[in-house]
Structure formats: C-alpha cells, structure tokens
Amino acid sequence: MRRITGAALSLLALLFASCTARVSGSLMADGQANLNVYAALEPRMTVLIGGLAAASGTMQPGMPLLNGPSISASMSAAPGVSSVSLVNTAPTAIEGPIKVSQLGDFLTLGNTKGFISFEQGSAAQSGRCAVVISRDFGPDILALISPEMSDYLAALMAPLATGEELTKDEYLALVRSVYSNGIANEIAGAVIRASIEFPGPVQSVKGGSFSGRRAEFVISLLDVLVLETPLSYEVVWR
C-alpha cells in the first residue's frame, strides 16, 4: 500500500532531488502521452543522499543512488501509467520512456481529482491542459512515483515531502544549518526543463513559452521543493 498511498514534480518527483533534469515528449488528442525523462544528481547531493541511504540501510553496496528499475516498478503501479522503462546511465543518472495512458488520471489519489486536468475540444474548439501542484497533495504524488525519493526528500526537510509550511528563504536557511551552504546552493540553482508537443498549434502558455505545437518550461527546483505558493501551468491549443 505504501507504493500507492504513502506520504511523499518531477516526472515530477523522480526529478525532485538536487539534479539536472529534462522531460521531453508529446501529448495526443485522446489524452495519452509519450515522455522521455533524464535526471542526474549533482555532486554534493550525491554525497549527501549516499550517506543518508547507507545510514538508513535502504541501499546495498553497489546499488545506484537513482535506481531506474526500482522507480520504474513504483511508477508502473500508479494510476494513469501504461509503462515505465527507466535505466541507469550512471549510478547517479537515469533515463528512459514513460507512457501515460490518460493524462487526467496520472497519479490520481483514490477517488480525488488529479493534479493534471486535460480537455480536448472538437475541431472548432481549443484543447487545454493544466497542472497545479500544492502542499495539499504533493507528498502523496511523490510517494506514487518513488517511496525511496520520498524518504530522501523528507531527510532534506523539503515541504514537498513533509507538508510543512516554509518560505523559500526559510527552507534554504534550514538546509544550510543542518547540511551545508553547498547543498543549499545546489538546490537554489537547479532547474527542471520540460519540452512538450501538443495535439495542435499552441495558442497560449501560462508559466512557460511556446512555438508552433511545442511548449517549453524551465521550473525552479526550489519552487517545487518548497511550494510556498501552488505551482500552476496551463497550455491551450487549437
């Protein structure tokens, strides 16, 4: 049950450690999506997470810090997912495809509404996709993706995992006091880049830019980890 309902953006969350991360892919008119994800831990975060994993006994010698097959198994059991095939390109890096069967159902929590809404109108109407991430359900979404990452982010005291209310400045100060300036600086400087092709020419984007059918987003990792205010993105297309 913990795989499905435990406490814990990105694509989302397997990206939610201090890392270099990219998401690319396409969304189809029927709500299916084909995505490719790449994520790699930054050097200081590698040392920190390795120490936390060893101390907790959750990682055996020789195991990768980002475990592609383990994350694939967790995500494959989540709502709205057809298949996940993440492989390790290095002990601290993963890459691979994720096929979403229905974007509106992706990582939904029981009978509650998901964090993604998807609408495809008729030929004369616009389609719309919106994403909203808040502290209200961020921890549960993270747990659906990877309980291990949930544990690591809880150790990092990230409000995304703990639900605690902190400002970004307060969170970075906390990380500096418990860990180091280096870890705080890696978190503050990290971004998640996403490039998604939509079923028709994009008309407008909230929180990003667009050209033709493709929308581009550069998302601050700090914004995701803290969720000081809900993160809201929207794409409208013809």
Tell me the average confidence (pLDDT) per consecutive run of 10 residues in the chain, 238 residues long: 29 53 92 91 78 66 77 82 92 91 78 75 80 77 66 82 91 94 88 92 96 95 90 93
Structure tokens at 151: 């544990």
Helices 138-145 and 147-155 sit at what angle, rounded to 10 degrees?
130
d(CA 97, CA 121): 27
Q: What is the per-residue DSSP string for 127-152?
A: EEEEEEE-TTTHHHHHHHH-HHHHHH
- Are 86 and 94 in contact, with CB atoms under 8 Å apart? yes
Structure tokens at 113: 């509404």
d(CA 162, CA 222): 15
Bridge-partner residues for 220, per DSSP?
191
**Look-up: residue for tokens 């803290």?**
226
Helices 147-155 and 43-56 sit at what angle, rounded to 10 degrees?
100
Amino acid at 198: F
d(CA 214, CA 26): 9
Structure tokens at 8: 């814990």
Q: How far is CA 146 from CA 5, 14, 17, 21, 203, in A?
A: 11, 7, 12, 16, 34
Does pTM surpass 0.85?
no
Specify the pLDDT at position 5.
Answer: 26
Handedness of CA 53, 57, 61, 66 (dihedral sign): negative
d(CA 202, CA 188): 31
Specify the pLDDT at position 61.
Answer: 63
- Contact residues for 171 (Cβ-Cβ < 8 A; gap 6+): 157, 158, 159, 222, 225, 226
Amino acid at 180: S
Specify the pLDDT at position 8.
Answer: 28
Specify the pLDDT at position 202.
Answer: 96
